[in-house]
């Protein structure tokens, strides 16, 4: 193997890259400053050489026989900041406003290489950094780290089209401040704490004892017909009062967040309104009301995530009546078009039976979020590469399932999952085609990644990362295929 200096001495000729362990697509320069990434086996490092390389911090190495030197910079937060300053394509940009976008939450910080392969095939923009506070807490990660992993991945793979960073499902002002302070380019406001779930079943008489309709709301909606493309919608007094009770606080909260953080335009971010984390589906009337009220009050948003009918459970296909889903999706998509934003589909992992419809009715303008499925593919890779380790983790997950269920809504039936000790090594991978087994692994990720031995060391985490590093190509190709299938179906619904 050649040394880094053999490579540097030949620049701008990069033919010696492979021999020096340099990722060819990572080679970038600004004038005399050259920066690239090198595979050191267990880990990658940045190398910076030439004028301006001091922006990176690390060990300075001088050539014993030439006048050259370079800085060997570890992939830490400080150097990620320097990288984003130096090469704009490694910093996130607002991409939600583009026609098509997809969130590919990467709980492990290693999935982007596979994702980038997908977004080289399709023109949708990726949100490579996307985590909720719940996910951060369950994995002991920080937004700094989530963003840094994405920046390093696009640098290594030479992905220059642009990617977004989503502070996903943020509920509290301090979380929004945190994401904005790091340069995240998308804020997903989760309004669920301000949505009332106790009025759905109330009779009209009960609703009236709760509250009465404000005059301006009554004037705006009652005795009117709203045309939404081929559909017409009308509010009865009862429906309007119910909707007002369910959503008015969520609208107020959204307006307050908009005014406090986003309306002055000082942060260049896209705003997503999420009303999906509720027990009952968002009706088209409710969706219209929320969009109309926010618009009237001056809020600019790129997407709304309604809760669709049926169930969008984590990591498995759609559960419910597809005919009804199609009917409602059509109106939801038309409402979004009327106000000039995109529909956002949450819990989009593996909803294969819905993707063509989503592509069709949104006319190719959508945002789809996935997260858990990327983790599941990582575990599928474990089952393939290290069956023994997988069996151990699987049994641990079973023991943690009851606790994990507190964080996620699933209808998993553990009795349907085959006993891993009766399966041969090749059959283990098949578990990832079975919904109950998928959900078991899906929701226990936090426990798996943070479980410790008596001596304080991680029980699985370090072994897993070592395996994923060695099996990087296996995982990247699994993701390429799996997320690629999501995109292929979404794109099959519309003419480009």
Is 402 a residue of the active site?
A: no
Task: Supply the minimum distance, in Å, between the C-beta of residue 482 and Zn ion.
Answer: 20
Residue 307 or 360 with smaller CB distance to Zn ion? 307
Of 331, 251, 252, whose CA–CA distance to 291 is shortest?
251
Residue 113 or 314 with smaller CB distance to Zn ion? 314
Binders of Zn ion among residues 398 to 457 (CB under 5 A) are: none
Count of residues in contact with Zn ion, rule CB under 5 A: 2
Name the segment binding Zn ion (CB under 5 A); options: 86-94, 222-230, 274-282, 432-440: 274-282
Task: Supply the minimum distance, in Å, between the C-beta of residue 51 and Zn ion.
Answer: 47
Name the segment binding Zn ion (CB under 5 A); options: 87-95, 275-283, 409-417, 426-434: 275-283
Question: Does 276 participate in binding Zn ion (rule CB under 5 A)?
Answer: yes
Task: Supply the minimum distance, in Å, between the C-beta of residue 385 and Zn ion.
Answer: 32
Task: Supply the minimum distance, in Å, between the C-beta of residue 368 and Zn ion.
Answer: 12
Residue 117 or 367 with smaller CB distance to Zn ion? 367
Residue 40 or 317 with smaller CB distance to Zn ion? 317
Task: Supply the minimum distance, in Å, between the C-beta of residue 169 and Zn ion.
Answer: 6
Task: Supply the minimum distance, in Å, between the C-beta of residue 105 and Zn ion.
Answer: 11
Residue 339 or 408 with smaller CB distance to Zn ion? 408
List the catalytic residue out of 98, 135, 148, 168.
Answer: 168
Residue 86 or 139 with smaller CB distance to Zn ion? 139
Pattern 296-335, binding to Zn ion, x per CB under 5 A? ----------------------------------------
Is 168 a residue of the active site?
A: yes
Among 346, 367, 394, 442, binds Zn ion (CB under 5 A): 346
Name the segment binding Zn ion (CB under 5 A); options: 9-17, 276-284, 285-293, 456-464: 276-284
Residue 100 or 346 with smaller CB distance to Zn ion? 346
Task: Supply the minimum distance, in Å, between the C-beta of residue 328 and Zn ion.
Answer: 17
Question: Does 272 participate in binding Zn ion (rule CB under 5 A)?
Answer: no
Name the segment binding Zn ion (CB under 5 A); options: 17-25, 45-53, 99-107, 342-350: 342-350
List the catalytic residue out of 272, 276, 350, 386.
Answer: 272
HEC per residue, the chain: CCCHHHHHHHCCCCCCCHHHCECHHHCEEECCEEEEEEECCCCEEEEEECCCHHHCCCEEEECCCCCCEEEEECCCHHHHHHHHHHCHHHCCCCCCCCCEEEEECCCCCCCHHHHHHHHHHCCCEEEEEEEEHHHHHHHCCCHHHHHHHHHHHHHHHCCCCCCEEEEEEECCHHHHHHHHHCCCCEEEEECHHHCCCCCCCCCHHHHHHHCCCCHHHHHHHECCEEEECCEEEEECHHHHHHHHHHHHHHHHHHHHHHHHHHCCCCCCCEEEEECCCCCCCCCHHHHHHHHHHHHHCCCCCCEEECCCCCECCCCCCCECCHHHHHHHHHHHHHHHHHHCCEEEECCCCCCHHHHHHHHHHCCCCEEEEECHHHHHHHHHHHHHHCHHHHHHHHHHHHHHHHHHCCCCCCCCCHHHCCCHHHCCHHHHHHHHHCHHHHHHHHHCHHHHHHCECCCCCECCHHHHHHHHHHCHHHHHHHHHHHHHHHHHHHHCCCCC
Name the segment binding Zn ion (CB under 5 A); options: 74-82, 233-241, 343-351, 356-364: 343-351
Interface with Zn ion (CB under 5 A): 276, 346
Q: Which residues does the annotation mark as catalytic?
A: 168, 272
């Amino acid at each position: 193997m050649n040394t880094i200096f053999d490579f540097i001495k030949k620049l701008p000729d990069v033919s010696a890259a492979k021999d020096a362990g340099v990722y060819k697509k990572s080679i970038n320069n600004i004038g005399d400053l050259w920066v690239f990434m090198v595979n050191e086996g267990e880990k990658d490092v940045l190398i910076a050489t030439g004028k301006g390389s001091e922006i990176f911090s690390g060990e300075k190495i001088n050539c014993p026989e030439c006048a050259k030197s370079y800085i060997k910079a570890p992939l830490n937060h400080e150097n990620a900041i320097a990288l984003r300053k130096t090469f704009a394509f490694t910093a996130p940009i607002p991409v939600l406003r583009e026609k098509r976008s997809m969130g590919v939450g990467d709980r492990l910080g290693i999935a982007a290489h596979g994702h980038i392969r997908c977004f080289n095939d399709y023109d949708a923009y990726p949100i490579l950094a996307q985590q909720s506070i719940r996910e951060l807490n369950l994995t002991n990660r920080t937004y700094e780290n989530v963003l840094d992993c994405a920046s390093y991945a696009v640098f290594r793979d030479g992905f220059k089209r642009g990617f977004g960073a989503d502070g996903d499902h943020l509920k509290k002002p301090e979380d929004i401040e945190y994401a904005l302070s790091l340069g995240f380019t998308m804020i997903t406001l989760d309004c669920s704490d301000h949505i009332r779930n106790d009025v759905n079943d109330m009779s009209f008489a009960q609703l009236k004892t709760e509250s009465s309709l404000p005059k301006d709301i009554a004037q705006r909606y009652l005795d009117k017909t709203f045309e939404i493309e081929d559909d017409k919608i009308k509010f009865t007094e009862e429906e309007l009062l119910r909707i007002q009770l369910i959503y008015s606080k969520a609208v107020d909260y959204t307006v307050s967040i908009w005014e406090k953080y986003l309306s002055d335009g000082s942060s260049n971010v896209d705003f997503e309104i999420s009303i999906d984390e509720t027990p009952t589906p968002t009706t088209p009337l409710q969706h219209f009301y929320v969009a109309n009220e926010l618009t009237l009050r001056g809020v600019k948003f790129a997407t709304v995530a309604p809760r669709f009918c049926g169930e969008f459970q984590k990591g498995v296909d759609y559960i419910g009546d597809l005919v009804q889903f199609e009917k409602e999706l059509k109106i939801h998509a038309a409402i979004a078009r009327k106000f000039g934003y995109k529909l956002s589909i949450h819990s989009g992992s593996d909803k294969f039976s819905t993707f063509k419809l989503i592509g069709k009715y949104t006319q190719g303008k959508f945002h789809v979020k996935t997260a858990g499925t990327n983790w599941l593919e990582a575990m599928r890779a474990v089952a393939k590469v290290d069956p023994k380790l997988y069996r151990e983790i699987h049994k641990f997950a079973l023991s943690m399932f009851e606790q994990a269920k507190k964080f996620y809504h699933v209808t998993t039936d553990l009795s349907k999952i085959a006993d891993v000790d009766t399966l041969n090594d090749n059959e283990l991978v098949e578990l990832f085609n079975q919904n109950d087994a998928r959900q078991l692994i899906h929701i226990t990720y936090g426990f798996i990644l943070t479980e410790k031995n008596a001596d304080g060391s991680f029980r699985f985490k370090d072994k897993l990362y070592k395996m994923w590093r060695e099996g990087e190509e296996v995982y990247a190709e699994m993701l390429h295929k799996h997320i690629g299938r999501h995109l292929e179906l979404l794109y099959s619904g519309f003419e480009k």
